[in-house]
């Protein structure tokens, strides 16, 4: 009887549902028959070949709103933004989803401690995460909240289909539950743990060291163990599904040795803040089932037209997650999708954490890096540069303002900033004329032979410039943005070294035609290196790269990946932005170097930077 009630309720919802997707191409609601036809047909969990009209779909995890954003949240956002912008640079249609996870026990308890209504608590904190995304220059297409109406309806629909397929059963569940981790742990994953600060001894997750408590309750369970063989078969056939590859070993080990049926609801007496199960108002849907479905909601689920589901972006091309939520995304999520025969995401990129003084960040001891403070102090592109060039994919990265300043000086200020000034500010040459001359076949034919002593350096740089875009592209294909930005930064250092070695400022005033020809060749290659590097830097440092290209005079329609080729643009050289006159007004001006400050959180050990304004409200 309950399942019939749920079926009728789901049909009524589908008839009245108007999805609220905030994207350029709005969706139109369709009939109950269309929706049920597409969701009841069998999909292959193997991702089909990408259709030409499928956007490249990249996601961040949705961030839990029980506390304020920290630097790790910004890192996840910026990583996703780089991949989106990279595909825009390549001329692809793209879709980026980020947002907030707003249900569950932790939020319920945090709201109670703050003495506010849970929805009000979520509204206030979701705004902070959206502000962080905007200040970080994340070009998102949807900021999803799990309290959004279309998401609630998608979760209810997903639940209904699981029930219809007989994959959900009611049972008395007992086990070790962690409120902090929002999950049950098997006995084999629970240990006695002593808090290093208080000395208190308690039962904890062996993985996270968060406290667990023994819980006995009635709830609904998902028959995840029935999918064990399908999961293991998928992992075996898709060994590169998870990056870095060694994370796959953790996932396979969990499924082989610890997989259990998953408790997917909580009694409403214990958890009121969440989506109620459609067929039993005494139960609330488990927050991780609710949260994971956001990736489908943003792609238009379940309002997919048969044959056109891919137009919303599904399957996701790239999920970006932190290592602490690996199991949820690489065990629970594929199992849930397999249960409904929906295609699995194409790739999961798992990044490591940021530490401070080699210690895990913790709000309780006050060593949490406040990303709004970092953006306010260093500027958004400087903060992005540091996170992207030093961030850890395989290993944790340690946040340090000292290191940030050193890297900024070396690669940005003394690198591209210095290089841009050397090429564009001199009155000894006209960059626009140099560019034109290098495309003038008549002048090139009559150009004197360049001195033999300069030929090796010129040939080496030409080879490096030809190789730069393909090398960066290969690193991005390998989901290695750290390697990609470092490759571009190395080019900046090489170009400066090239100018120092060849000294065009001396050659350009020489009475020798060969020397003057060499100066023109050298300066053209330096300008080409700046132009190509600026184009490739756009996904990483969107504002600074754009200004670099403006100062070079590169046309707005000549900044795509296809233009990151040696000798493909003959029209640049006339600045469209001030070149500046020195370090202070250059592309990368000096930083305020108060080296005492490592973090801007509100914890006990916070230090205040001299003459620094407070973080943005």
Q: Where are the alpha helices (DSSP H) in 207-320?
A: 228-237, 247-258, 287-292, 294-298
Instruction: Give the residue among 45, 478, 43, 42 at the shortest CA–CA distance from 237.
Output: 45
The reply to whether 411-563 shares the fold of 2-45+52-351 is no
Q: What is the pLDDT of residues 439-475, one digit of tens each?
A: 988 888 888 888 999 999 999 999 999 999 999 999 9
Residue 468 vs residues 281, 445, 520, 524, 547: alpha-carbon distances, Å: 59, 27, 22, 17, 21
Task: Give the class (CATH, top level) of 411-563.
Answer: mainly alpha
Predicted local confidence at residue 233, as pLDDT: 98
Three-state DSSP state, 259: coil
DSSP string, 516-543: HHHHHHHHHHHHHHHHHHHHHHTTTSHH
Instruction: Give the residue among 11, 33, 79, 114 at the shortest CA–CA distance from 387.
Output: 79
C-alpha–C-alpha distance, residues 617 and 612, integer Å: 14
C-alpha–C-alpha distance, residues 180 and 178, integer Å: 5
Q: Where are the alpha helices (DSSP H) in 299-368?
A: 326-327, 333-339
Predicted local confidence at residue 595, as pLDDT: 40
Predicted local confidence at residue 26, as pLDDT: 29
Three-state DSSP state, 449: coil
Predicted local confidence at residue 594, as pLDDT: 42
Count the neighbouring beta carbons within 10 Å of the beta carbon of residue 379: 18
For residue 223, give both structure tokens. Answer: 């028959």
State the fold for domain 2-45+52-351: Rossmann fold (3.40.50)
Instruction: Give the residue among 382, 405, 516 at the shortest CA–CA distance from 454.
Output: 516
Predicted local confidence at residue 3, as pLDDT: 44
Spans in the chain with pLDDT lower than 50? 1-3, 5-43, 594-617
Are 46 and 342 a contacting pair, CB within 8 Å?
Answer: no
Predicted local confidence at residue 179, as pLDDT: 62
Predicted local confidence at residue 49, as pLDDT: 67
Predicted local confidence at residue 197, as pLDDT: 62
Q: Where are the domains of the chain?
A: 2-45+52-351, 411-563
Predicted local confidence at residue 6, as pLDDT: 45
Q: For strands 56-59 and 63-64, give the pairing.
A: unpaired
């Amino acid at each position: 009887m309950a399942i019939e009630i749920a079926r009728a309720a789901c049909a009524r919802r589908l008839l009245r549902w108007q999805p609220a997707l905030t994207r350029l191409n709005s969706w139109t609601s369709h009939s109950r028959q269309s929706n049920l036809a597409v969701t009841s047909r069998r999909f292959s969990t193997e991702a089909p070949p990408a259709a030409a009209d499928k956007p490249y779909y990249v996601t961040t995890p949705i961030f839990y709103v029980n506390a304020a954003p920290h630097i790790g949240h910004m890192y996840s956002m910026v990583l996703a933004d780089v991949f989106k912008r990279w595909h825009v640079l390549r001329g692809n249609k793209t879709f980026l989803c980020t947002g907030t996870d707003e249900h569950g026990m932790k939020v319920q308890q945090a709201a109670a401690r703050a003495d506010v209504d849970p929805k009000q608590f979520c509204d206030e904190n979701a705004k902070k995460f959206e502000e962080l995304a905007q200040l970080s220059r994340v070009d998102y297409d949807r900021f999803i909240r799990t309290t959004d109406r279309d998401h609630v309806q998608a979760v209810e629909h997903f639940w209904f289909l699981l029930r219809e397929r007989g994959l959900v059963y009611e049972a008395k569940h007992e086990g070790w539950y962690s409120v902090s981790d929002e999950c049950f742990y098997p006995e084999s994953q629970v240990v006695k743990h002593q808090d290093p600060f208080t000395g208190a001894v308690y039962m904890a997750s062996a993985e996270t060291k968060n406290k667990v408590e023994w819980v006995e309750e009635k709830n609904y369970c998902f028959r995840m163990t029935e999918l064990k063989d399908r999961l293991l078969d998928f992992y075996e056939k898709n060994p590169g599904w998870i990056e870095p590859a060694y994370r796959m070993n953790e996932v396979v080990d969990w499924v082989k040795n610890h997989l259990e049926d998953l408790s997917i609801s909580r009694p409403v007496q214990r958890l009121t803040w969440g989506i109620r199960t459609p067929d039993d108002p005494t139960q609330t849907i488990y927050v991780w089932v609710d949260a994971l479905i956001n990736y489908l909601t943003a792609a238009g689920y379940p309002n997919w037209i048969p044959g056109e589901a891919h137009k919303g972006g599904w399957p996701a091309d790239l999920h970006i997650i932190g290592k602490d939520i690996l199991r949820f995304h690489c065990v629970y999520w594929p199992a849930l999708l397999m249960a409904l025969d929906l295609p699995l995401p194409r790739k999961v990129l798992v990044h490591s954490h940021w530490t401070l003084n080699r210690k895990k960040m913790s709000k309780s001891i006050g060593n949490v890096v406040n990303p709004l403070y970092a953006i306010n102090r260093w500027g958004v592109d400087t903060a992005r540069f540091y996170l992207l060039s030093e961030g850890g994919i395989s290993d944790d990265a340690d946040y340090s303002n000292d290191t940030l300043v050193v890297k900024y000086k070396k690669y940005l200020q003394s690198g591209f900033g210095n290089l841009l000034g050397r090429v564009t500010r001199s009155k000894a040459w006209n960059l626009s004329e140099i560019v034109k001359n290098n495309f003038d076949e008549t002048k090139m034919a009559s150009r004197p032979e360049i001195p033999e002593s300069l030929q090796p350096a010129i040939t080496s740089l030409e080879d490096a410039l030809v190789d730069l875009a393909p090398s960066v592209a290969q690193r991005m294909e390998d989901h290695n943005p750290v390697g990609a930005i470092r490759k571009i930064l190395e080019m900046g250092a090489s170009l400066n070294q090239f100018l120092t070695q060849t000294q065009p400022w001396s050659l350009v005033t020489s009475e020798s035609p060969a020397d003057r020809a060499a100066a023109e060749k050298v300066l053209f290659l330096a300008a080409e290196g700046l132009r190509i590097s600026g184009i490739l830097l756009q996904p990483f440092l969107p504002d600074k790269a754009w200004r670099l290209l403006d100062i070079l005079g590169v046309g707005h329609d000549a900044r795509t990946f296809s233009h990151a080729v040696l000798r493909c643009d003959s029209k640049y050289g006339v600045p469209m932005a001030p070149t500046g006159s020195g370090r202070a007004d250059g592309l990368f001006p000096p930083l305020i170097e108060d080296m005492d400050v490592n973090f801007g959180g509100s914890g006990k050990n916070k230090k205040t930077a001299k003459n620094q304004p407070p973080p943005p409200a």
